[in-house]
Chains A and B, each alone.
Chain A
Amino acid sequence: QQQVKQSPQSLIVQKGGISIINCAYENTAFDYFPWYQQFPGKGPALLIAIRPDVSEKKEGRFTISFNKSAKQFSLHIMDSQPGDSATYFCAASLTNYNAGGTSYGKLTFGQGTILTVHP
């Protein structure tokens, strides 16, 4: 129930094209869905995030589309550039609310997608 499945494992796109990476989750209690971007030799860094009551979130050329009923979310990179070449991870976490207070969760990551954008 804690799994997040990501596809494809690798993706090659021409400059100016659209890159699409998909993720599926099982736990319907997840309430935070971030995407992380990782360049070679560096640690992952937060790129964009969405919550389940929103169907789409856009930041510049990056858009998350969220389908709660299908338990799927995807990252779209418009006008892909060679500088976007990196590994992308989707992730999910859940928040616990109880009498003791609010407990924010740990992230469960997808398997990662290596994106290569050719000039």
Chain B
Amino acid sequence: NAGVTQTPKFRVLKTGQSMTLLCAQDMNHEYMYWYRQDPGMGLRLIHYSVGEGTTAKGEVPDGYNVSRLKKQNFLLGLESAAPSQTSVYFCASSYEGVYWHSPLHFGNGTRLTVT
């Protein structure tokens, strides 16, 4: 099993450009998440989804949009990139909400630089 796969692995954008990050999971998980990781800030939740067709805001949603049209895919969009969005983005999934029987599984991240 591939687990959680993120594409692309690296991307450089200019301020104002847009892009979409793709996350795919093959574990039939209901819940999917997008986190950003910044030095000294830990992992902060951007948006999440509790099932196909659903999305919800996390801790730092401003400047991002998401869609979950298919259960296995979760897309993160940046409509107008800003330097403050330079970060490493991680997608994760879980069977349901996080607990003993339902741990988070992470992808290997996308490193985004906005100049």
Chain A interfacial positions (CB closer than 8 Å to B): 6, 9, 32, 34, 36, 41-46, 49, 51, 89, 93, 95, 103-107, 109-112
Contact = CB atoms under 8 A, between A and B. Distances in A.
Interface stretch (B14-22, B35-43, B66-74): B35-43
Interface residues of B, number: 26
A45 B92 CA distance: 10
Contact of B104 (A9, A46, A110): A46
Nearest to B6: A43
A89 B43 contact: yes
A26 B102 CA distance: 23
Interface in B1-21: 4
Nearest to A90: B42
B45 A106 contact: yes
A9 B40 CA distance: 7
B51 interface: no
Contacts of B100: 32, 49, 51
Contacts, number: 66
A103 B92 CA distance: 18
Given A45-B106, A93-B98, A109 B90 contact: no
Interface in B25-75: 33, 35, 37, 40-45, 48, 58
A104 B102 contact: yes
Nearest to A32: B99
Residue in A51, A104, A105 whose Cβ sees the most chain B Cβ within 10 Å: A104
Contacts of B102: 104
Given A6-B42, A111-B42, A44 B106 contact: yes
B108 interface: yes
Contacts of B41: 111
B68 to A, nearest CB: 15
